[in-house]
Copies of this chain bind each other. A is one copy, B any other.
């Protein structure tokens, strides 16, 4: 799904313009200016969200390419992922600057402020996910073309597809400001962890059976580790979405508590979908 298709309108825009219209009795030119500033501000927030989703799309692609490069022993693709990481970094810096500019010039409050803060945190995690994808690609480039497909690679590919899907869902939840979808994506991390642990156990057995393969198996192990970390970071993004929608910080809470929070109506934010 592209960033453009994914994006639904940011719900608070309508509310603000409405309020400005109700103030209309005070003088036409003031309303005009207020509406103009409000429109610009809304456009800026919308732009930031679009950019986060575009960055997320690029990072998703980097994961998919890195995993494919690993699975298909595609050294050229692996090198392409490594050389593309600078784009992810540049996007992070640009969005971060835009957020700082909005904080300084617009002095956002309430849900707008939460959006900007959530964006600052989300892009940090996206950038680090990009780094993990680069790590997987470096391992893939390291393997080269000479070795064939192994059982452990197939499992790592499966894990890669799983964390890719998890990040995709987390970004969908961000686009739609959907706390329940975020919670659903958050829950996927348990499966990621179990799959990762099973891979590690199997790789240890491989190494003990064939010590000459240890360096190669370790590369597979580092790749699995990088993918597991991507799952952790996608989970962070889910937590920011829940915070954004519900106005409550759900980090370091139990799954049960988080489920309660996600199910309750947020008391400090406007309704998200009409």
Are A104 and B100 in touch, CB under 8 angstroms?
no
Q: Answer whether A252 and B121 are a contact pair too, CB < 8 Å, given A204-B218, A208-B211.
A: no
Selected from B92, B104, B117, B121, the residue in CB contact (under 8 A) with A113 is B104
Q: Which residues of B contact A251 (CB under 8 A)?
A: 89, 92-93
Are A100 and B117 in touch, CB under 8 angstroms?
yes
The reply to whether the CB of A207 lies closer than 8 angstroms to some CB of chain B is: yes
Complex alpha-carbon distance, A184 and B215, angstroms: 34
Are A103 and B104 in touch, CB under 8 angstroms?
no
Q: Which residues of B contact A214 (CB under 8 A)?
A: 204, 207-208, 214
Are A204 and B215 in touch, CB under 8 angstroms?
yes
The reply to whether the CB of A198 lies closer than 8 angstroms to some CB of chain B is: no
Are B103 and A117 in touch, CB under 8 angstroms?
yes
Complex alpha-carbon distance, A192 and B120, angstroms: 28
Are A113 and B100 in touch, CB under 8 angstroms?
yes
- Give the A interface residue count (CB, 8 A): 31
Complex alpha-carbon distance, A121 and B127, angstroms: 13
Q: Which residues of B contact A249 (CB under 8 A)?
A: 93, 96-97
1/0 per residue, CB under 8 A from B, across A98-137: the answer is 0010011001011001100100110010000000000000
Which residues on A are within 8 Å of B, measured CB to CB?
A: 86, 89-90, 92-93, 96-97, 100, 103-104, 107, 109-110, 113-114, 117, 120-121, 124, 204, 207-208, 211-212, 214-215, 218, 225, 249, 251-252
25 contacts between A and B (CB under 8 A): A86-B252, A89-B251, A89-B252, A90-B252, A92-B251, A93-B251, A93-B252, A96-B249, A100-B113, A100-B114, A100-B117, A103-B103, A103-B113, A104-B109, A107-B107, A117-B120, A124-B124, A204-B218, A207-B207, A207-B211, A208-B211, A208-B212, A211-B211, A214-B214, A225-B225
